[in-house]
Structures are given as structure tokens and as C-alpha cells.
Chain A
Amino acid sequence: MRIMDNMVPIKDRLFQRRVSLFSMSLQMVMAIALMLACAGTLLGGSVIAGELLSQEEMLAGQEEFVPISELPPEDRLPAAPLLIAAYSFVWVVLLVYLWSIWRRLTKLEKEFEDFTRTVSLRKTGPDG
């Protein structure tokens, strides 16, 4: 009997949750777009930097230092793999975290749909 009394607020609350879950999905799309925009800007910056600046210009502000290319071979370690590994790791962690939120959200949505169906069945009764 009480479930029938609570039906209207539950329906309202279900609707609010549905809207909230939908806007969360939109927010996730925004997060992906923001991350892609950051990556695009970085990539664009690299291309522009490569086109606009010659090697001499890139080293112009550093004449007081010993350029890495002039160091003896034993003092050099391959830096690019470490940099790429670090950069990739940042992306992997952020995307995995975003995926974990997505997964939890999908699970919640599914449970929510099941619950909505159960509540509707209880309201109408098994015979409709």
C-alpha cells in the first residue's frame, strides 16, 4: 500500500535521476573533447614550432649552456623513449579513469532501468 503512496515522488525522483545521468554522459563527452583539444594543441604546437623555428633559433636562447648534442656519448641516455613513456602513461591513466567512470555510470543506468521497470510493474500490476 505504501509503495502506491510513494509512487509520485519516486516517479519525480526517477525522472530527475534520468536527466542527471544523461547530463553526466554529456559531461563525459565534454571531458573527452577537452582532452583531445589539449592533445591537438600540443600536436599543432609541435608542427608549428618545427616549421617556424630552425634548429639555430631553438638553441638561440641557450648559448650559455652546453647543448645536449655536444655531450660525449657516455653522458647521453636516450631521452625520447622516457619522455614518450611518461607522456603515454599520463594519457593511459586519464583515459582509464574516464573509462572507469563510464563503466560505473553504465552499470548504474542499467540498474536504474531495471528498477524503473520493476516500479512500473508494481504500479500497474502483473495483469496490466
Chain B
Amino acid sequence: MIAWAPYESTMGLVQKIFYFHVPSWMVMFLSVFICGVASIFVLFRRSYRADRIALAAAELAVVFGLIGLVTGPLWARKAWGVWWQWDARLTSALVLWTIFIAYLLLRRYGGPGSERLAAAVALFGMANVPFVYWSVNVWRTVHPKTTVVPSLGPGMSEAFWWCAGAFLCVYLLFLALRIRLEENRLEFESLHLTSED
């Protein structure tokens, strides 16, 4: 479908990066949202299940954010003539990604009790998403505005939504896998403790 989609007038072939650059950010934002909501339950209800979901979602936010951060400059090199611009959208997206790197580092090396501190970091990260999304409409930036996706022409629209759906399916499958891996790991630790008793 990507091959079938029409060529964009000024950028030509390289514009087709759009079909996986934008879905990867959409899925990353979804993952940040899931992580943020789960972190609310971790902070206020001390839910272990929510903690597992938050950790899995944070890891996937980093994975899909990395795809967006690498495919973007590859597209920008042709479209803008530079790999990177320190403008509002690109910088805020990078900051959002580093927040979730910080979350994972906290979980990995923070020691006991770090899950609540990490949950607060995730909430901070989730609060950043609207700023990243609206940054292109508020500040002057070389990045296209949020009106691009709703105004896609025939051919482009179908290819885009098909790719967005595929990314969503892969994301949900990865999320389910990662949550179950964490559940199994924790259950295994619990079994160890029980047997030592």
C-alpha cells in the first residue's frame, strides 16, 4: 500500500517515510498515555498490576520513540536539507523520549521503592505529550503542523491508516508479551521466596 500511495509533490519518494514515522509516534504517545495512567494507580493505589503495565508501556514508548527519532532525521535530510533542527517539536519530542529513558534507568538501578519515584517521572512524561503535540501549532517550526493527517488525499490516507493499524497491532502484541514476561518474572521471584521460607 505504501508503494501504491501517490508520490508527494515536493518530496517525492522520501515522503513515504511518513507511513511509518507518524504511526511510530502515535503508538509512542499511546504508550506514554498507558504508562501515565497506570502510574496514577501505582502512586495512589499501590497497584502491582498497574506497575507491570507501566513498566511494559515505558519500555515500548522508548522503542517506538527511537523509531520516530531515527526515521525523522532520515526524512528531514532530504526534505529540509539538515538531519536535525533544534526547534520546538523536535526538541520536545527528544526530551519526552529521554524522560522515559530516565524512567527505565530508575527502574533498573533505583533499588527498592523506585517504582513510585518512577511513576512520578512517568506522570511528568505524560503531561509533556500535549506540549509535544501542539508545539507545531504554537511555535514557529520547520516541522509540518497537526493538520497533515486529516488532510491526506485519497491513496495516501488508506496507506497511512493501514500502517497505523499495523503498528497498533504490533504494539498491543508486544505490550501483552512484555506484561506477561514481567508477571512470570515476579511470580518466579515469589516462588523462590516461598520455597526459602
Chain A contact residues, CB within 8 Å of chain B: 2-3, 6, 9-10, 13-14, 16-17, 20-21, 24, 27-28, 30-31, 34-35, 38, 41-42, 45-46, 48-50, 53, 58-59, 61-62, 64-68, 77, 79-80, 82-83, 85-87, 89-90, 93-94, 97-98, 101, 104-105, 108, 111-112, 115, 118-119, 122
Contact at B177–A28, with CB atoms within 8 Å?
yes
Partner-binding segment picked from B32-40, B97-105, B106-114, B166-174: B166-174
Chain B residues with CB under 8 Å of A45's CB are: 1-4
Between-chain CB contacts (< 8 Å), 12 pairs:
A3-B195, A6-B194, A17-B188, A27-B176, A31-B173, A68-B12, A77-B77, A79-B12, A82-B75, A86-B71, A89-B71, A97-B63
Chain B residues with CB under 8 Å of A115's CB are: 188, 191-192, 195
B24 located at the interface, meaning its Cβ lies under 8 Å from any Cβ of chain A in the complex: yes
| Interchain CA distance A24-B188 in the complex, whole Å | 15
Q: Which of B3, B9, B195 contacts A42 (CB 8 A)?
A: B3
Chain B residues with CB under 8 Å of A48's CB are: 4
| Interchain CA distance A10-B1 in the complex, whole Å | 51
Contact at A119–B183, with CB atoms within 8 Å?
no
B87 located at the interface, meaning its Cβ lies under 8 Å from any Cβ of chain A in the complex: no
CB distance from A57 to the nearest CB of B (A): 10
Chain B residues with CB under 8 Å of A27's CB are: 173, 176-177, 180
Chain B residues with CB under 8 Å of A46's CB are: 2-4
Known: A20-B184, A45-B2, A79-B12. A3 touches B166 (CB 8 A): no
B16 located at the interface, meaning its Cβ lies under 8 Å from any Cβ of chain A in the complex: yes
Q: Is the interface of B mostly helix, strand, loop or mixed?
A: helix
Contact at A90–B67, with CB atoms within 8 Å?
yes
Q: Mark B146-190, 1 if CB is under 8 A from A, else 0.
A: 000000011100000000001001100110111011011101100
Q: How many residues of B contact A (CB 8 A)?
A: 49
Contact at A86–B74, with CB atoms within 8 Å?
yes
Chain B residues with CB under 8 Å of A104's CB are: 181, 185
4 closest residue pairs by CB, A with B: A65-B9, A68-B12, A46-B3, A79-B14
Contact at A86–B78, with CB atoms within 8 Å?
no
A-facing residues in B28-84 (Cβ within 8 Å): 63, 66-67, 70-71, 74-75, 77-78
B20 located at the interface, meaning its Cβ lies under 8 Å from any Cβ of chain A in the complex: yes
Q: Which of A20, A30, A87 contacts B20 (CB 8 A)?
A: A87
Chain B residues with CB under 8 Å of A13's CB are: 187, 191
Q: Which of A24, A58, A68, A85 contacts B177 (CB 8 A)?
A: A24
Chain B residues with CB under 8 Å of A16's CB are: 187
Residue of A nearest to B77 (CB): A82
Residue of B nearest to A5 (CB): B197
| Interchain CA distance A17-B155 in the complex, whole Å | 47
Q: Which of A35, A41, A85 contacts B1 (CB 8 A)?
A: A41
Contact at B7–A58, with CB atoms within 8 Å?
yes
Contact at B178–A101, with CB atoms within 8 Å?
yes
Chain A residues with CB under 8 Å of B142's CB are: none
Contact at A24–B166, with CB atoms within 8 Å?
no
